[in-house]
Amino acid sequence: MNCVSRIAVGCDHGGYRLKEAIVRHLRRKGLCVLDMGAFSEESMDYPDTAYKVARAVAGKRAYRGILICKSGIGNCIVANKVAGVRAALCHQLRAVRLSRQHNDANILVLGSFFVKGPMAKKMVDVWLATPFEGGRHARRLKKIEKIERMNRSR
């Protein structure tokens, strides 16, 4: 199996069932998955897995990441603290497309309260297939990278 396109996936206890469905879906498609937990529905703290996934993406161990918790909000906040990560919380297909086209999002964040199995799988498929448009959006990403560099030196 070619693992050049490894996808890091993580969740907390509230996203566990949806994560398991997404991991199975990705593997059925022949994609390499780096499952970073949680590994049960036992209560755990979402920052632990969100940080692991974000570091895997920022460190190039995975080219993309997917995070799942109940609302998605906490995971998105944690992931976006890591330089080089552009995590997008999406609850609908149009937002998924735009997160890739305009923001070159490298982590998709889903909330299991809002997105259920079949739609989540469709969202993941669209997100993985949608290219970054570049152009004026690339200029904006350069500005985000500049902000990250300025904050690292503080």
Model pLDDT, residue 84: 95
Give the DSSP letter string of 125-149. Answer: HHHHHPPP--THHHHHHHHHHHHHH
Model pLDDT, residue 114: 96
- Digitized pLDDT (tens) for each residue of the chain, 154 residues in all: 456 679 999 999 999 999 999 999 999 999 999 999 999 999 999 999 999 999 999 999 999 999 999 999 999 999 999 999 999 999 999 999 999 999 999 999 999 999 999 999 999 999 999 999 989 999 999 999 998 888 876 6
pTM more than 0.85? yes
| CB contact burial 113-123 (16+ within 10 A = b; e otherwise) | eebeeeebbeb
Model pLDDT, residue 4: 61
Residue 139 maps to a domain: yes
Closest CA to 41 of 66, 16, 21: 16
What is the tally of structural domains in the chain? 1
Residue 22 maps to a domain: yes
* Stretch (H or E) spanning 24: helix 16-28
- Whole-number Å distance between alpha carbons of 94 and 152: 33
CATH number at residue 30: 3.40.1400.10
Model pLDDT, residue 154: 60
Side chain identity, residue 114: F
Residue 2 maps to a domain: no
Catalytic residue IDs: 69, 102
- On whether the CB atoms of residues 62 and 108 are closer than 8 A, the answer is no
Residue 94 maps to a domain: yes
The parent domain of residue 125 ranges over 7-152
Model pLDDT, residue 117: 92
What's the helix, strand, coil split of the chain in %, to 5? 50, 15, 35
Residue 105 maps to a domain: yes
- On whether the CB atoms of residues 113 and 17 are closer than 8 A, the answer is no
Model pLDDT, residue 149: 87
